[in-house]
C-alpha cells in the first residue's frame, strides 16, 4: 500500500512543477494593441502613396459608411498621420486628393482551449485578422487600387481573456470555443483523485 501511494506522489510532482512555471508568464498584448499593430502595417502603403503625391497636399480620408470598425480605423489613422494634412469630414471639398478605404474587415478568433500540462492552465491560439482595399486620386477619380491582408497570431492563457478583450469595441471580442471533453471532465476528476491521494499519503507517512 505504501509503495502504491509513493508512486502516486511521484506522479504529482511533474504536474505541480508545470503549474508553478506558468505563474511567471508576462501579460499578453491586448486585442486593441494587436489590431493597431496590424493596421499600422497596412497603412504603410497609404503613407508611401501620400509621400509620392506630396506631404504638403490636403488629403481626405474616407473609410466608407459609419461603422465601429471604420471608426477604429480612423482613430489609428489620426495617430499615424498626425503630422500630415489629413481631413476626415466627408462634407469637406477643399482637398487635393481623396484616400478611400473599402471592404474593411477586422476580426478575432480563438482555438479550442488546451493545457500545456495535465493540471496546468488552459491556453488558446488567438488570431487577429485585418483586410481592406485602398485607392487614391483626385476628387471624383479614384485610381491605383490595392489590397491589404494581415494577421497576428499568438498563444494566450485563457485566464487573461477578459484582460485582452477589454477595449470597448465589440468586434474585438469573440466567444471562446468549449473545452474538449478531456479537459472538462477527465482532468477535474484527476485533480480530485490526486488531492485525495496526497492527503492519504500524508497521514500514512505520519502514522509510520
Parallel/antiparallel/unpaired status of strands 114-115 and 86-87: unpaired
* Residue 127 placed within a domain: yes
pLDDT along the chain (208 residues), means of 10: 48 47 76 98 95 94 95 97 94 90 97 86 97 90 87 97 95 91 53 60 64
Output the pLDDT for position 102.
95
- Find how far residue 26's CA is from the centre of its chain: 15
Output the pLDDT for position 90.
82
* Residue 136 placed within a domain: yes
For the chain, what is the domain count?
1
* Residue 43 placed within a domain: yes
Output the pLDDT for position 183.
55
Q: Which residues of 180-205 are buried (b: 16+ CB within 10 A; e: fewer)?
A: eeebeeebeeeeeebeebeeebeeee
Output the pLDDT for position 20.
44
Rounded distance between C-alpha atoms, residue 112 and residue 110, angstroms: 7
* Domain span at 164: 26-178
* Residue 114 placed within a domain: yes
Nearest to 134 by CA among 37, 39, 34: 39
* Residue 11 placed within a domain: no
- H/E element holding 181? helix 181-181
Output the pLDDT for position 186.
52
* Residue 12 placed within a domain: no
Output the pLDDT for position 194.
59
* Residue 36 placed within a domain: yes
pTM: 0.77
* Residue 19 placed within a domain: no
- CATH of residue 121's domain is 3.30.160
Output the pLDDT for position 198.
65
Amino acid at each position: 500500500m505504501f509503495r502504491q501511494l509513493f508512486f502516486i506522489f511521484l506522479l504529482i510532482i511533474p504536474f505541480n512543477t508545470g503549474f508553478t512555471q506558468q505563474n511567471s508568464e508576462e501579460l499578453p498584448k491586448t486585442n486593441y494593441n494587436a489590431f493597431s499593430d496590424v493596421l499600422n502595417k497596412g497603412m504603410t502603403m497609404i503613407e508611401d502613396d501620400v509621400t509620392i503625391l506630396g506631404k504638403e497636399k490636403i488629403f481626405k480620408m474616407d473609410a466608407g459608411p459609419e461603422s465601429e470598425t471604420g471608426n477604429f480605423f480612423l482613430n489609428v489613422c489620426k495617430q499615424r498621420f498626425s503630422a500630415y494634412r489629413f481631413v476626415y469630414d466627408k462634407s469637406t471639398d477643399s482637398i487635393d486628393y481623396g484616400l478611400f478605404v473599402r471592404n474593411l474587415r477586422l476580426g478575432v478568433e480563438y482555438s479550442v482551449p488546451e493545457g500545456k500540462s495535465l493540471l496546468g492552465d488552459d491556453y488558446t491560439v488567438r488570431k487577429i485578422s485585418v483586410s481592406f482595399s485602398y485607392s487614391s486620386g483626385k476628387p471624383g477619380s479614384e485610381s491605383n487600387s490595392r489590397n491589404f491582408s494581415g494577421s497576428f497570431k499568438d498563444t494566450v492563457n485563457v485566464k487573461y481573456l477578459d484582460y485582452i478583450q477589454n477595449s470597448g469595441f465589440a468586434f474585438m471580442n469573440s466567444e471562446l470555443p468549449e473545452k474538449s471533453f478531456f479537459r472538462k471532465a477527465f482532468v477535474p476528476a484527476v485533480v480530485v483523485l490526486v488531492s485525495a491521494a496526497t492527503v492519504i499519503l500524508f497521514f500514512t507517512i505520519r502514522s509510520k
